[in-house]
Structure 1
């Protein structure tokens, strides 16, 4: 079992959003468990860390002028959470597969979809569907905070939006 100090450092690094320190402490715990003969647990911890390094998208630093104008969210919804007609679910799975196998499409001179427009009445599942697609592809969703974007000065609103979309 991890030491009390290791657990404290693990929790602290999580809340400080310090993934490098978090990974280091987790690997220390794995090494400690391996010494105790708990090789399965040690291997599981290492696999989780390795998978997180592969799946986590690399994002550039946010321009200080854009701070507070949008949120970066890593959704938790899964495809199994969605209740829709089979033909709609097939379309969503196709979008996910196109992105997942974009290299294969590219080899055949084809491209995957890079833009999707959802439309419909409120409460029909547009945001949830976008969250599911993002989660399945291990990508974040960006939520633009319109109350922070819109200003009374002509052109400033569109300039801020342009900066946000350039960042994304």
Structure 2
């Protein structure tokens, strides 16, 4: 049996063109759109002369890993009968210094989910489900660097 295929479409348009600004000093601003979704305003990391008020690709990669884990985790908790009252994550990605040619890469991402459950007896299983969520997360399974977890589960 062949697996299902899912296709995703986005549109990126450079919005940084400015009259009178030499291209060498171009703005790095862009807008990402997808049908039926609000636009996402982006730039590059400020260290590369980007706009710090906009999302950069590195932010989006770390956020994607965090969101994918959270979505799998909540689904697994629901299937296990664990009532989750709150979930938040303070994720951190580390990118290694660029090479002489300007290329760099992520070395690791650490997710730090803090989960509040309704029943104290569910804490051990709720902790264990973080591994299952990681093993199933499409994004974590697609990257070539380690994604680790430092979860906390408490009762609310």
Taking structure 1 as the reference length, what is the TM-score of the superposition? Answer: 0.31
Return the index of the structure with the highest Cα Rg. Answer: 1
Q: Whose helix fraction is larger, Structure 1's or Structure 2's?
A: 1
